[in-house]
Amino acid sequence: MELIGSTLTATYARPKSSHFLPAISTMASSYRNPQTALTVNPSAGLWRANSYYKSNSTIPSPSIQRENLDMVRAKTVLYPSNRSVLTTRYTPDDWYKSNHNNYRESESSRKSAERLRKDTIRLMQDKEQLTRRTQESTSKNIGERLNDIVFWKSELSHEIDNMVTEIAALNEVKRRLERALAETEGPLQVSQECLYHREKRMSIDLVHDDVEKDLIKEVEVIKSCQERMRRHLDRAIAQLSNRAAQHELERDLSDKVTAQRIDERCHYLRNTSDGIGYYRGIDRLDPISLPDSWSKFTDDNILHSQSERAASHKLRDEIEILLNSTSNEMWNQFNNVNVAFSNRISETADAKNSLQTHLAKTLQEIFQTEMLIESIKKALRDKECPLKVAQTRLEERTRRPNIELCRDNPHHLVSEVREIEDTIQKFQERLMEAENTLQTLVMTKVTLEHDLSVKANSLFLDQEKCMSMRKSFPSMPRLVGYT
């Protein structure tokens, strides 16, 4: 029970007061307040048992009890009891009942306090265990998350290594393709120069022969190979855009490394760790991704990188096949052109030799014809004197007088003259024929000599100009891009 006039500290430390009896002053209160307070209401200090019991017949609610207690306390403080006026207020039964009520209330309060204490201790223990389990579960989840990060990080590292290897291989094939493309410029220039030189052939040798056909085909083959190489080179350059996939993998790996470092620090945080603190509102932060989308993002990056690697590998195989096929095509056509050149040079050399033989024979025949002409001319000159003699004889015998002008046997000089004239005429015809033959032989000689010069020029162009340039051709390793 509260002591009247107790200090504020004592008031806060008091036990739960009883509501069975009104508050009365105590001896200590009387000693602290010796003077008697004036009673405003004379009937205020009277106490009636029947009204007391009547008022306690119904148990008021705790709030009403607290209000009544405060009112009684206030009235008691303002109006302390005057023991000199009242002699007796309670009966012994009231006193015993009040004590028993206080005992019961004290026991009830202790039980409530003990129950509250046990419930609170049990609650604290449960919450401590729950907090510990939650923290352990969170640590476990962070550990599992670290395992996931380590797994995907290893997958990313492996894929990045494969991508770097593939990019290096594609770059090497690209450089080989560029070198092979550059190597084709020399053979193409040689073929074009051969065609240009062979345009300098003269006369009948300016023929569309097998050599020219093969040279034109060689130029077409080389240009076709160059075109295919350029297309594949453009594809290789475009395929090297898989560096973007590599950059995505590297960025994802960098994010994984950062996340791993953060989660490792979080995983090893304890209640006694340094650097822990309050961060208000951090629980309301909305994450960007979910576990499914997080793993799908990395998996998509890896799948994209694998598809790029597969395309790059396929392109490398195609370039390898292209290099081998183009080198074989160019080598085969180069050999075909060289064989055609050899055959043509052999044919031209044979024709030249034949022309030289015919020219020698023609020269010999010209010489003999010239000798024949000289012989005919000499024979004609030799016939002049006999003709003169015969004609002179005839002319002299025509001077015979009268009957002496007889057709005697000597008169057959006429036939002699005619015979000599006929012979001279035949010699002149033969001379004319010989001179015509000589003219024909001379024209043939000129033709043969011109043809010989043509053949010599063709041999010089094919053998000296063209074949001297075609003695060397890029080797197979150089044609496939190796140095």
Q: Is residue 139 part of a domain?
A: no
Q: Is residue 32 part of a domain?
A: no
What was the pLDDT predicted at 160?
A: 92
How far apart, in whole angstroms, are the C-alpha atoms of residue 366 and residue 371? 8
Same domain, 216 and 303: yes
Q: Is residue 13 part of a domain?
A: no
How far apart, in whole angstroms, are the C-alpha atoms of residue 207 and residue 361? 27
What was the pLDDT predicted at 18?
A: 43
Same domain, 294 and 439: no
Number of compact structural domains in the chain:
2
How far apart, in whole angstroms, are the C-alpha atoms of residue 135 and residue 147? 18
Ranges under pLDDT 70 in the chain: 1-88, 242, 404-413, 474-478, 481-483
Burial of residue 41 (number of CB atoms within 10 Å: 0-12, 13-18, 19+): exposed
Same domain, 329 and 435: no
Q: What is the C-alpha radius of gyration for the chain, rounded to an integer number of angstroms?
A: 71
Same domain, 248 and 378: no
Same domain, 258 and 366: no
Same domain, 193 and 337: yes
Same domain, 208 and 336: yes
Q: Is residue 29 part of a domain?
A: no
Q: Is residue 36 part of a domain?
A: no
Per-residue pLDDT reduced to its tens digit, 318-370: 999 999 999 898 889 888 999 998 999 999 899 999 999 999 999 999 999 99
Same domain, 379 and 436: yes
Same domain, 164 and 211: yes
Same domain, 225 and 250: yes
Report how far apart, in Å, the C-alpha atoms of 463 and of each of 185, 213, 332, 354, 471 are: 22, 17, 20, 18, 11
What's 20's DSSP letter? S
Nearest to 87 by CA among 47, 145, 147, 56: 47
What was the pLDDT predicted at 77?
A: 46
Could you tell me the residue range of the domain that residue 340 belongs to? 153-273+288-345
Q: Is residue 185 part of a domain?
A: yes
**CATH number of the domain enclosing 210:** 1.20.1260.80
Residue 352 tokens, joined: 């030249």
Q: Is residue 19 part of a domain?
A: no
Q: Is residue 30 part of a domain?
A: no
Same domain, 268 and 164: yes
How far apart, in whole angstroms, are the C-alpha atoms of residue 59 and residue 53? 11
For the chain, helix, strand, coil in percent to 5 are: 80, 0, 20
Same domain, 338 and 197: yes
What was the pLDDT predicted at 48?
A: 42
